[in-house]
Amino acid sequence: MEEDPGMSTFPSSFRIADTEIAPATVLAPMAGVTDTVFRQFIRNQGGCGLLMTEFTSSHGVVASVKRQKPSKTVRDYLSFEEHERPITAQLFGADPSVLAEAARYCEGMGFDFVDLNLGCPVKKVVKCNGGSGLLRDLPLIGEILASVKRAISIPLTLKCRAGWNDNELVHVQLGKVAEDAGLSAIALHPRTREQGYSGKSDWSRIAALKSALRIPVIGNGDILTPEDAVRMVRETQCDAVMIGRAAASNPWIFRQLAEYLETGEYMQPTEEDRYRMMRSYYDMLIQHEEPEMVGKMKQFATYFTHGVRGGAALRRAVYECRTGPEVVAQVDHFFESQLAAAVS
């Protein structure tokens, strides 16, 4: 395979303050996806430099602190294992003092970094002025960044969208506010809040942000393959890439990128690889005693059977299951039948 000219310029690492992150890849925070089990699962595949928690309500964290007892919010969203490091706690909210207190709590829990979510487009978050809702109020963002920065000694970063809509783009202005406030990195998903996940990511916005700032810029959006990641770096000069939805259906993508950068080629998972991957993740859910284990198994059956021959039949069978062992039995039966048919 002929080497992509961007491969030679893809960064081997990047820095968040004094911490070197290698490889220069980040697992995007995804609600309902990037819990501790999934993060450990991705870490086990190799190739991912930085993990991030699901975005977590700052008000939920502070309420837990006041009760002096870990709440479901803290247990479900902020628990992590040592081998997940380096790891970032991502918070959302719109109250400077509440976000500061929540960030202080995260530092006390041992997180390496705190990240603020200024990108979530979900209505119930936006209506409280959280996530991308804050993009309409840069002065408030400035207050939040200053308040949180004063409250913690670990590095502070943020993830944002380009703006509320195409007529209200604020990513460069926001980046300068963040840099002036002493933040250590910024990740940009270049869609607007109005776009949601529709349309195409305009990577030129990542390039514009990178050219305007001195702090590291992490590019995010529409990276589906290793070639996409290399092309993003070539076109934007970003310091690292962040991959989200593609990692849910293809947990090997970070390892594939590392292989592609080293050899110009990368592994394509076989049916047996997919079987082992599903069983590995489901076994981890069972061992972790995940309270929503069956729901997670059903959710990830949708992701993991992407591209599997006859996968729709497996999904239907899994959706009808009521217990974890039932799900595992259906997965075993399906793949054992598939693999036996392939060799007969």
Q: What is the largest CA-CA distance in the chain?
A: 67
* Spatial distance between the Cα atoms of 197 and 206, rounded to a whole number of angstroms: 17
Q: Which amino acid is at 334?
A: F
* Spatial distance between the Cα atoms of 84 and 147, rounded to a whole number of angstroms: 28
How many alpha carbons lie under 13 Å from residue 128 in its C-beta half-sphere? 14
What letter does residue 28 receive in the DSSP assignment?
Answer: P
Tokens describing residue 206: 């990542």
Tell me the catalytic residues.
Answer: 120
* Spatial distance between the Cα atoms of 92 and 94, rounded to a whole number of angstroms: 7
Whether the CB-CB separation of 25 and 44 falls below 8 Å is answered with: no
Tokens describing residue 56: 């977590």
Tokens describing residue 261: 């950068």
Tokens describing residue 317: 């069978």
Q: Any idea how long the chain is?
A: 344
Q: Which residues, 6 or more positions from 215, have their beta carbon under 8 angstroms from its beta carbon?
A: 178, 179, 183, 184, 185, 186
